[in-house]
Structure 1
Amino acid sequence: MSKLSTIGVIGLGKMGRGMANSIQRAGLSVIGLDAYAPAREACAADGLRVTDSLAELAGLADAIVLSLPNSDIVRALLEGPEGLIALARPGTILIDTTTADPKTMQALIPALREAGVRFVDAPVSGGPAGAAKGTLTMFIGAAAEDLEAATPVLAALGEKRFHIGEAGAGYIAKLVNNLLVASHLLTASEAFRIAEAAGVRTEQLLESINAGSGRSGVTLYNYPSRILNQGFDSGFTMQLMRKDVRLAQSLMRESGLDLPVSRTVGAIWQGSDKELADQEDFNRIVTIDTNQRQAH
């Protein structure tokens, strides 16, 4: 497809709405779809064209961006006689920004190719604010020619775009990224708890940590912007991070690995559902008590 004109966006929640607005701001026409009527109405109020018909969107769109909660929803959208694989025009570029199960999605790639649909997996980091500003970080898996064709849309969405490898590689990269974030939140919270117990407050410690080799994205950004100020307002939920950690654990096992640190991180996150509800901000993981005293 030589020129992209109309871009479909499926999934108009916190991320998808921002993406749709960023794409339109870049000079491309947008048509959005969401099963939830209030989400469509909010986007319509932004001046975006919306529809509740997948067939209408597929018939108009040169490229389609998916922003959905998980790979099961993506698969349900794609498969079947009324699914997107059947409805999309040959040459359509499908860009999936979902943090998805690589195994599930890679199994769908042959059917997409057979239908003539070009595929780019591009999970994102940066939250709703990054989506709204068009400053997301993107982990991209795609054939080189498909990546080139999708670049006008990707450039509208992401300031930092990394081509990891062939289709499916972006999903793997994003899971590794989120496993690191999940791990860093736990290790930082425990390190700061040690300091607090020894008489040094986190506020006293953080600037020096961020100037030293112990810093991470969690200490540089999450702690000052989301945690110490008690904001807990990232827009990314415990439910979503638990899902991503679970997928990373599955990837570990499927790769024939049993890594103790990653296994422990997974156990803590999955066990946190007893203390933190699904819709709580994921940064609240630092509030759970991981201290275990051995009985003597």
Structure 2
Amino acid sequence: MNGEWASPLGQRRICQGSGLMKTVGVIGLGNMGRGMALSLKRGGYKVLGFDAAPGVAEKLQDEGVEARASVADISRDSDVLILSLPTSDIVEKVVLGEGGVAASAKSGLIVVDTTTADPNSTRKVAAALREVKVGFVDGPVSGGPKGAATATMTMVLGGSEQDVATVEPILSVISAKRVHVGPVGAGHVTKIINNLLTGVHLLATSEAVRAAEAVGVDPQKLVEALNGGSGRNSATLTNYPTWIFNDKFDSGFTMKLMRKDVRLAMDLLRSIDANAPISAEAGRLWAESASSIGDAEDFNRIVQFVPER
């Protein structure tokens, strides 16, 4: 998308790679951040990278990503800064801590947080950045490491119309679909609910597969049939064919991260006193699975969890 959009910070920004917003920083160069950084480089942007783990950013220099030595360093030189971090606590340290983004960024920077995060923490971070004239968009992603590497992710965006419009050309380089769902925090609320549904789908589908198998129905034929009917869901369409039936269990998303996301969903439901018994039971089962499925295991291993009667 070409053209000019008004920034809420009183500046004008050209919405294309060759305009004012031409330098993009990425903090967190793991499975997701690395793919986004390389997609941005292919899209014609100058890309800066930082990761707390020694040597990670430097490994991407041969592929055109300029390594920076600190959060302060990358914050000073970026027009847009993408965060790809595991938890809200880490986001708060990176943004609000000593030498963090809030203390170091130039006025007019926009931060895009792709972390699956606590919406309350998100609003806190956004408010602190607003005080130093830095914009904020929460933009959690779906699609996994493959989606990040191939720029086919989906992003749900929370933020002002102006900030979202400003970063749209950059986000279009790293994702195939973007939905602006509301103000700051709305993106993270939406992603938490999405991941809760994924957790419910995996649990329910695993019960269906075990029941069918117990009465002699081939599980793979069952899933094929479900995918042609109204019972299809994300687990039957994607998880079982891609990672479960073939015993790969290598989606790149761990039990630890999924349990964290389900806990965030439970916190959200409790905060609004929701009447959600199915979700509550799913939350209980995901938490209980920690006794038999390790944090480092692929999150699809939940289908192997059979709770005690």
The Cα of 1:108 is off from its aligned counterpart by 2.3
The counterpart of 2:266, out of the listed 245, 249, 266, is 249
Partners in 2 of 1:139 and 1:250 — Cα distance?
A: 20
The aligned residue for residue 305 of structure 2 is 288
In structure 2, C-alpha distance between the alignment counterparts of 1:47 and 1:109, rounded to whole Å: 30
Q: Equivalents in 1 of 2:52, 2:162: separation in Å?
A: 32
Residue 170 of structure 1 corresponds to which residue in structure 2? 187
Letter paired with 1:42: K
CA distance in 1, matches of 2:296, 2:127: 35
- Which residue matches 1:96? 113
Q: Which moved more, 1:61-70 or 1:75-84?
A: 75-84
* SS, match of residue 57 in structure 2: helix
Distance across 1 between alignment mates of 2:227 and 2:43: 35
| Alignment-derived partner of residue 218 in structure 1 | 235
Paired residue type of 1:283: N
State the distance in 2 between where 1:80 and 1:206 align.
Answer: 48
Per-residue Cα deviation, 1:201-239 (whole angstroms, up to 9, x for no partner): 201211110000000111011111110011111000000
Paired with 2:93 and 2:161, the residues of 1 have a C-alpha distance of: 27
Structure 1 residue 258 displacement after superposition:
4.2
User: What TM-score do you get using the length of structure 1 for normalisation?
Assistant: 0.96
- Counterpart selection for 1:44 from 50, 61, 71: 61
Task: Say if 2:114 and 2:139, in contact at 8 Å, map to a contact too.
Answer: yes
Asked if residue 264 in structure 1 is aligned to residue 281 in structure 2, the reply is yes
Query: Within 5 Å, which residues of 2 pair with 1:33-182?
Result: 33-182=50-199
Q: 1:44, CA displacement in angstroms?
A: 2.2
Offset of residue 166 of structure 1: 0.9
Residues 121-155 of structure 1: per-residue CA shift (max 9 Å, x gap): 00000000100111111011111110111012111
What's the secondary structure of 1:38's corresponding residue? coil
Secondary structure of the residue that 2:203 maps to in structure 1? helix
Question: Secondary structure of the equivalent of 1:107?
Answer: helix
Stretch deviating more after TM superposition (250-259 or 6-15):
250-259
Residue of structure 1 equivalent to 2:37: 20
Counterpart-to-counterpart distance in 1, 2:245 and 2:54: 36
Letter in 2 for 1:188: T
Task: After superposing the two structures, state which structure 1 stretch, 7-16 or 47-56, moved more.
Answer: 47-56
Q: Which structure 2 residues correspond to residues 175-190 of structure 1 after superposition, within 5 A? A: 175-190=192-207
Deviation at 1:41, TM superposition (A): 3.0
Contact map agreement 2:289 2:305 (CA 8 A) in 1: yes
Any stretches of 5+ residues in structure 1 without a counterpart? none
8 Å Cα contact 1:12/1:43 also seen in 2: no
Asked if 1 retains the 8 angstrom alpha-carbon contact of 2:49 and 2:65, the reply is yes
Residues paired across the two proteins, number: 292
- AA in 1 matched with 2:48: I
1:276 and 1:241 map into 2 onto residues whose CA distance is 12
Q: What code does the residue aligned with 1:74 have?
A: V
> Aligned with 2:108: secondary structure?
coil
CA distance 1:291–1:274, change in 2 (3 Å):
closer
Superposition deviation, residue 81 in structure 1: 4.3
Q: Which range moves more in the overlay, 63-72 or 50-59?
A: 50-59
Structure 2: gaps (5+ residues): 1-11, 14-19
Partner Cα separation in structure 2 for residue 147 and residue 74 of structure 1 = 20
- CA deviation vs aligned residue, 1:166-197 (integer Å, no higher than 9, x gap): 11100000000000000000000001111111
* AA partner of residue 210 (structure 2): R
**Structure 1 vs Structure 2: percent identity of aligned residues?**
48
8 Å Cα contact 1:32/1:49 also seen in 2: yes
> In the superposition, relative to structure 1, how do residues 291 and 201 fare at CA in structure 2: closer, same or farther (>3 Å)?
farther
- Name the SS for the 1:152 alignment partner: helix
Deviations along 1:230-269, one digit per CA (max 9) or x if unpaired, are 1111000000000000000000001122421111101111
d(CA) in 1 for partners of 2:110, 2:100: 15
Distance in 2, matches of 1:258 and 1:39, equals 45
TM-fit CA distance, 1:38: 3.4
- Name the residue aligned to 2:6: none
Note the C-alpha offset of 1:57.
Answer: 0.9
